[in-house]
Structure 1
Amino acid sequence: MVELLAPAGDFNSLKAAVLNGANAVYLGGKEFSARQYAGNFDREEMIEAVKFCHSYNVKVFVTLNTLLDNLELKAALEYAAFLYEIGVDALIIQDIGLLKILKENIPEFELHGSTQMTAHNLEAVNLLHSMGLKRVVLSRELSLKEIEYISKNTKAELEVFVHGALCIGFSGQCLMSSIIGGRSGNRGRCAQPCRMEYSIDDNKKQHYLSPKDLSTLEYIEEIKKTGVYSLKIEGRMKRPEYVATVVSSYRRALDNMSKKDDIDRVTQVFNRGGFTSAFLFTPQGREMMSYERPKHWGVYLGKVIGCKEKFADIKLEKSLKVGDGVEIFGKNIGAPISSIKINGRNVESAKPGDIINIYLEGASKGDRIYKTLDAELYKEAEESFKGKDIKRIPIWGSFKAKSGEIIEFTVFNQDGITSIATAEEPEIALKTPTTCERVAEALNKTKDTSFYFEGIEIEMDDNLAIPVSKLNLLRREAIEGLLEKLQGKREKINVNIDFSKTKKSVIPKIAVKTGSLEIAESCIDAGCDVVFLGGDLLRKNKEDFNEFPRFIKENKKVYPWYPEIILEEFETLKKQAIELKEKGIDKALCGNMGMYSFLRGIGFDVYLDSGFNLFNSKSCETFKNSGCHLSPELTIKQLSNVISNTESKTMVLAHGRIKLMTSRHCFVGSSMGHGKKDCPVLCKNQVHYLRDRMGEVFPVYTDVNCRSHIYNSKILCTIEHIKDIIKLNADFLVLNLLDEEKDEAALVVKAYREGIERAFNNEFKIGSYGEELLEELKGNITKGHLYRGVL
């Protein structure tokens, strides 16, 4: 059976998911969850959530899927222990350091790899499974063929998204919210800057980075054939009515009982101009995106054909009822419908083709009107988890009351799980004895629980008096006991985490990351210690690609660099790596878990790139490595803590444009009406630009596989703070060189070489190369997160 996995942002959403057919729910606690702006569950609510779900035989997965610094790891481990003890079925995690300490401390706890782990190839999935993850949530950018290939060649359970909001960039690799606004998606606080308006190359402003929501109701059978284990609905920030509507529709689809209007129902409850199948089939262009509006559209109701004062005449294309909500598209003006008139007569509802008159202040002739709320649909959804006839689970009971013996009430479910409640022996009735009917009536009052009694056997002497209050107490205690057994409590465990202080003092080496041969040559001549060459294979460097292997083999300071996203090019890169290894090249910088696994398998020493999201000392110890490029989201203080507590060599980003996201979607071609298929390669080899509402300009480069890479508008430059950087005792200072001219690249290397030397000689003034670099950048610089940090 394929699992249907539903979101729960609060307890009502939890009930909505369970009572509408979810097999499992995922939810977050108040601590360490990647949806910090959802309602989430405190510890007592979490216990009740587990009891409720387990009473319906529904599993509970808790998201502990944020990056954690050293000071947070202990608290996260203790919280995980609490979740294990109360019967949570699995944890969903992102941080590989947390993965390490969980396997050391709570090895029996089932672990799932969040989509934030950016697992998108077979090798990455198999690596994570070998490290103890039972399940891996695949990146949302994969096609059905790619999903099926992974599924057929792994022992890991696979989970895929089937409905809900899409990130336009690969999850786990997006720094856009972090760098622009200081709210990190990797820390559960994404501000969704991708939903804002931008212009591309100073053309018309639209929401170019805002995709429609994913919907796969029509393709459930095709998805099932891939062999995936779990189908995931996104939506922990959504209302419970949304959860109820979407879950019930997918339940019917999985059970081959779909209703004709299921697609209409999920469209009405939330959509952004319709839905998309994203990357599941052929790559999509403009049709995947919601350029006009990034929020809920509703369904098209009709156009305004006339206005008088604050009232509008609309010719309907959909039905409308009193209580529904409408909005004027593009004006952000909406109103609840309190009355509808047809030919001057008040009506409760109207059908397609009717011309209606409603109060709608701000409307003009020609305005497009959308129905954003269907009151009847919402009421039906609410009834499914709050109504009188909600789904309940059958249990059975056995009541025994004998004179001179304690009273026993036993309850059990269909799996034979039993709970017994007892009370002191009954009194002899002085007047009217308690009847079996009265006992049954009291014990059957289960409306405030998940259960109903399929049957209760009653064995009782005739002359006993048993107060109703005692019967009620017996019922409550017996059912609570059953719930506690179903909860699946585990024994309390002790957890521990140690950090090994490794004080050291090093003179950092200068490492350059680039995809340009010209930059690489210039930086070697300028005195850098190592060059990592390759990366994203950007179109602007296309002429250099064939020369990379030769250049690497001829230069002892140069090693290959493999990026964080590797899909259709994987086999080519594998072949190239084998050839390099045969020529004696045995080191590489790698940001992709799958490629890391392959490189290690053929004998490479691997430096872990920033794609591994190395946020704490334990993450540096999880994979064998020659060095760790620490997360650019860490502050000076956090970096110092990580470096002083790890034996691994460490790498700190000191200079360059920070990549904000990688997307499998082509913004440039899409904005001009093209998808990947038959695209005339509008992007060519040139740089394009996104401009935001603040006037900031972000370079956009495409690669040879038609992926888009957005870079920060400003360049990280730490030359003014080089003494702070040196004090970190990192082994490498990393310079990201993307689009510099060769002389500019050489100047960067010389400035940092000079800065390192002056810092070790206790010279406080910036040197001549440093001054020249600052003049060259002319204030277009940022300190990144070194001093401000992220939320």
Structure 2
Amino acid sequence: MVELLAPAGDFESLKAAVINGANAVYIGGKEFSARQYAGNFDRQEIIDAVRFSHAYDVKVYVTLNTLLKNEELNDALNYAAFLYESGVDAIIVQDIGFLKLLKEILPEFEVHASTQMSVNNLDGVNHLYSLGVKRVVLARELSLSEIEYICKNTQAEIEVFIHGALCICFSGQCLFSSMIGGRSGNRGRCAQPCRMQYSLEGGEKSYILSPKDLWTIEHIDKLIKAGVKSLKIEGRMKRPEYVATVVSSYRKAIDNGLDEEDKKNIMSIFNRGGFTTAYLFENQGPEMMSYQNPKNWGTALGKVLDKKGKFVIIKLEDKLNLGDGIEIFGTGKGVPVNKIYKNGKEVESANRGDEVKIYFEEAKKGDKIYKTQDIKLIERARESFEGKCIKKVPINGCFKADLEKVVLTIKKDDVEVKVLGEAPQRAISKPTTREKVIESLSKTKDTPFYFEDLEVEMQEGLMIPISQINELRRSAIEKLLDKLQNKKQRVDININFSKNKKEIIPKVAVKTGRIDVARAAIEAGADIVFFGGDRLRINSKDIEGLIQHKEKIAPYFSEIIIEEFDALKQRAKELKSKGFNCALCGNIGFYKALKEIEYDVYLDKGFNIFNSFSVDLFENKAALISYELNIKEIKNLIENTKGNTMITVYGRTKLMVSRYCPIGSSKGYNRETCPNVCNNKIHYLKDRMGEKFPIATDIYCRSHIYNSKKTIVLEHIKDLLSLNSDYWVLEFLDEDAHDVKNIVSAYKDAISRGIKGDFTLSQLAIGILEKNKNDITKGHFYRGVQ
């Protein structure tokens, strides 16, 4: 049976999800959750959540899906041990080092790979499965056919998102919020820069990176047929009424009971100008975007026909009730509806087509008014999970009493518990009746249960205090909840780091997709050039033009590899036969392919190396450390691993990669209709502060957005050398060959001088800093992320 998986940001939302038909819920704790701005659950609330959910046969998954620093690993593992002990059904993780430790220390704990792991191909799924991951949450960018192919060719369970907010970037690969504001999406603190206004090439401002919410409610049968195990609703930041409404509607869709009213309810509870099926059916153009308003639109109520003092006249396009919330479209200016006048009389509601007068001081003639809160829908949603008739779980009971003992047995499915009471006395005047026992035992209203069947076998003439019967009921139900909670034995945690005391002279590595840059870098003394990467349209693609330097050249495969997987694998085999023995790889699935071809693999940014154990999970020549760690954290990581490491010391950081193209979409094209309007050149997004972010497209029509500033740290060579990283990486995007030669030479010279104790700047370094003085950032080297 397919699983409907619902979000819960707090206990009310969890209750709403469970009561309205979820088969499982996913929640975040106050510790290590990728939604730090949700309410989240403290430890006691997690225990209560498990007990409540398990009573309804609903599973509980806890997200521990953030990247973890060395100093956090012990606490995170102890937290995971607490979750395991508490009966949590599975843990959802992002960090590959943490995954390694989990499988070593808590091998029986079910692990799900978060969508933050950016798994976008079959080999990635299968490789994680081989590492002990039971379920993989696929990247939201995959099409139905791609999902089906993966489902049919893996033993892993596959989970996909079916409803809710979309990230425009491949999850787990976004550094936009982190680099411009210090709030990391990989650490649960995304500032949502994709919901801000930008202009493209100096054109009109719009919410060019803001997608509509996903909905698949009309296509659930297709996803089930494809073999998806779990259908996931996004929304741990949403209110419980949203959870109740969306979960109940999808429950009906799965059970073939959906109607038009359910679709309308979903639209009313939250939408951003409608919905999108995103990439499910290869739909990747402007129709999936919410360019005008990134927030909840609600439903159109009508235009202001006239203004009467502080009141407005509207001809309604939708029903209006007292208590509804209304807003001037796109402004955020709204009011609650406290009075409605129709035909001069005050009314409680009005229908579509009615002309009404309502208070709205800030509105003016011609304004578009939207209903952003439907009070009747909110009331119905709340009633579903806190009303008098909420769903309860049937249990069976058997009460037996004689002069020697009182026994209450209760049973739910195959789970049975017994509770013994004190021996009763003979009644002097009024014996306890069978009816009284049934009445007392049936008072289960503060629990998830009701007695579907209750047997009472009593010896005649007994007097059993009602308080004792009540206590037996409470005790038995508590014991049943204990058993259903499925607590595990506590596990002791002990982490052993591998100390690394080596002192090395770092090698200079260059990342590029251009032949002229590669040649200039080698001429300037680069020790290795990683060539290819994202296969950007602005780059040359033929690595064979560098075959005479093959001892210093390694093919470079990026973090996103989907439809091109088989072709790239074949290309990798050809290059191996021509003598290329090393490769840089950012994709978990393609790593597996490269190892099968017997490459020595360097790990790129896609692996999000955040701690010492992340270096060691995948066999590698060296691993690129995350851009989000500061000097102190990098040093700690390197000192505690025997593996080789790389740090990035120059270049424009790639902030995001998307299967959506803002260049073509802004002109009204989707992937099928676009005549390559990107013109093989770099375009720019301009934000409200005037910063210009380069965008380059690749040959698969994905867009790559880069930081407006370059990371340049030539004046901090002493600090960088103290890290003892094996490679310093220089990334080139739009620099010309002359600049590349100077930059590589400057870093080589700085290393050579630095190891002799000379940390003064050369004239070449001074020239580079001066030329880029208005375009420099230190990245996270001196700030890091929370």
Structure 2 length normalisation: TM-score?
A: 0.99
Distance in 2 separating the partners of 1:22 and 1:555? 55
Match of 2:456 in 1: 458
Distance in 1 separating the partners of 2:62 and 2:759? 50
Root-mean-square deviation (Å): 1.1
Q: Indicate the SS of the match to 1:540.
A: coil
Match of 2:209 in 1: 209
Distance in 1 separating the partners of 2:44 and 2:405? 33
Letter in 2 for 1:448: D
Match of 2:362 in 1: 362
More off after superposition, 458-467 vs 481-490: 458-467
Match of 1:243 in 2: 243
Match of 1:658 in 2: 653
- Residues 315 and 162 (structure 1 numbering): CA distance in 2 closer, same or farther, change over 3 Å? same
Match of 2:66 in 1: 66
**Per-residue Cα deviation, 1:460-481 (whole angstroms, up to 9, x for no partner):** 2333332222222111110000
More off after superposition, 487-496 vs 513-522: 487-496
Distance in 1 separating the partners of 2:578 and 2:284? 41
**Per-residue Cα deviation, 1:35-73 (whole angstroms, up to 9, x for no partner):** 111111111111111111111111111111111111111
Match of 1:548 in 2: 543
Match of 1:565 in 2: 560
Distance in 2 separating the partners of 1:716 and 1:282? 36
Distance in 1 separating the partners of 2:371 and 2:434? 55
Judge conservation of contact 1:314–1:356 (CA < 8 Å) in 2.
yes
Q: How does 1:244-283 map to 2 (within 5 A)?
A: 244-283=244-283
1:407 paired to 2:406: yes
Paired residue for 1:595, among 584, 590, 593?
590
1:283 deviation in Å?
2.6
1:142 paired to 2:153: no
Letter in 2 for 1:416: D
1:434 deviation in Å?
2.2
Distance in 2 separating the partners of 1:349 and 1:585? 74
Q: How does 1:613-652 map to 2 (within 5 A)?
A: 613-652=608-647
Distance in 2 separating the partners of 1:571 and 1:462? 79
Distance in 2 separating the partners of 1:191 and 1:239? 19
Judge conservation of contact 2:5–2:233 (CA < 8 Å) in 1.
yes
Judge conservation of contact 1:528–1:749 (CA < 8 Å) in 2.
yes
Letter in 2 for 1:70: N
Distance in 2 separating the partners of 1:222 and 1:456? 43
Q: How does 1:365-384 map to 2 (within 5 A)?
A: 365-384=365-384
Paired residue for 2:476, among 475, 478, 492?
478
Match of 2:693 in 1: 698
Judge conservation of contact 1:553–1:580 (CA < 8 Å) in 2.
no
Distance in 2 separating the partners of 1:594 and 1:299? 43
**Per-residue Cα deviation, 1:308-333 (whole angstroms, up to 9, x for no partner):** 11111111111111121111113322
Distance in 2 separating the partners of 1:523 and 1:273? 49
Q: How does 1:90-109 map to 2 (within 5 A)?
A: 90-109=90-109
Letter in 2 for 1:477: S
Distance in 1 separating the partners of 2:454 and 2:573? 71
Match of 1:677 in 2: 672
Q: Indicate the SS of the match to 1:539.
A: coil
User: Where in structure 1 are there 5+ consecutive unaligned residues?
Assistant: none
**Per-residue Cα deviation, 1:597-636 (whole angstroms, up to 9, x for no partner):** 1000011000000110011111111001011011111111
Match of 1:535 in 2: 533
Judge conservation of contact 2:513–2:536 (CA < 8 Å) in 1.
yes
Paired residue for 1:468, among 466, 469, 489?
466
Match of 1:174 in 2: 174
Distance in 1 separating the partners of 2:124 and 2:604? 15
User: Where in structure 2 are there 5+ consecutive unaligned residues?
Assistant: none
Letter in 1 for 2:225: K
1:561 deviation in Å?
0.6
More off after superposition, 579-588 vs 432-441: 432-441
Distance in 1 separating the partners of 2:727 and 2:329? 53
Q: Indicate the SS of the match to 2:257.
A: coil
Letter in 1 for 2:559: E
Letter in 2 for 1:714: K
Match of 2:17 in 1: 17
Letter in 1 for 2:186: N
Judge conservation of contact 2:284–2:659 (CA < 8 Å) in 1.
no
Judge conservation of contact 1:581–1:604 (CA < 8 Å) in 2.
yes
Distance in 2 separating the partners of 1:249 and 1:767? 66
Letter in 2 for 1:125: V
Distance in 2 separating the partners of 1:518 and 1:283? 36
Distance in 2 separating the partners of 1:244 and 1:789? 39
1:384 deviation in Å?
0.8
Match of 2:754 in 1: 759
Q: How does 1:244-323 map to 2 (within 5 A)?
A: 244-323=244-323
1:351 deviation in Å?
1.3
Judge conservation of contact 1:663–1:709 (CA < 8 Å) in 2.
yes
Judge conservation of contact 2:277–2:283 (CA < 8 Å) in 1.
no
More off after superposition, 705-714 vs 424-433: 424-433
1:443 paired to 2:441: yes
Letter in 2 for 1:452: Y
Q: Indicate the SS of the match to 1:384.
A: helix
Letter in 1 for 2:12: N
Distance in 2 separating the partners of 1:123 and 1:330? 44
Q: Indicate the SS of the match to 1:218.
A: coil
More off after superposition, 322-331 vs 481-490: 322-331
Q: Indicate the SS of the match to 2:237.
A: coil
1:436 deviation in Å?
1.8
Distance in 1 separating the partners of 2:544 and 2:55? 60
Distance in 1 separating the partners of 2:747 and 2:631? 18
Q: Indicate the SS of the match to 1:358.
A: strand
Distance in 2 separating the partners of 1:446 and 1:276? 44
1:553 deviation in Å?
5.4
Paired residue for 2:741, among 735, 743, 746?
746
Distance in 2 separating the partners of 1:633 and 1:76? 19
Letter in 2 for 1:78: N
Q: Indicate the SS of the match to 2:395.
A: strand
Match of 1:78 in 2: 78
1:746 deviation in Å?
1.0
Distance in 1 separating the partners of 2:590 and 2:284? 27
Structure 1 length normalisation: TM-score?
A: 0.98
Paired residue for 2:512, among 514, 518, 530?
514
Match of 1:165 in 2: 165
Distance in 2 separating the partners of 1:231 and 1:532? 39
Letter in 1 for 2:602: Y
Letter in 2 for 1:115: T
1:554 deviation in Å?
4.2
Q: Indicate the SS of the match to 1:474.
A: helix
Corresponding residue pairs, total: 786
Distance in 1 separating the partners of 2:328 and 2:37? 28
Q: Indicate the SS of the match to 2:501.
A: coil
1:176 deviation in Å?
0.5
Paired residue for 2:499, among 498, 501, 506?
501
Q: Indicate the SS of the match to 1:510.
A: strand
- Residues 224 and 757 (structure 1 numbering): CA distance in 2 closer, same or farther, change over 3 Å? same
1:219 paired to 2:219: yes
Judge conservation of contact 2:245–2:269 (CA < 8 Å) in 1.
yes
Distance in 1 separating the partners of 2:521 and 2:546? 14
**Per-residue Cα deviation, 1:537-565 (whole angstroms, up to 9, x for no partner):** 11111xx21x2233245442111111101
- Residues 552 and 392 (structure 1 numbering): CA distance in 2 closer, same or farther, change over 3 Å? farther
Taking every aligned residue pair, what percent have the same amino acid on both sides? 59
Q: Indicate the SS of the match to 2:495.
A: coil
Letter in 2 for 1:54: H
Letter in 2 for 1:60: V
Match of 2:725 in 1: 730
Q: Indicate the SS of the match to 2:784.
A: coil
Judge conservation of contact 1:553–1:583 (CA < 8 Å) in 2.
no
Q: Indicate the SS of the match to 1:199.
A: strand
Letter in 2 for 1:136: V
Judge conservation of contact 2:305–2:313 (CA < 8 Å) in 1.
yes
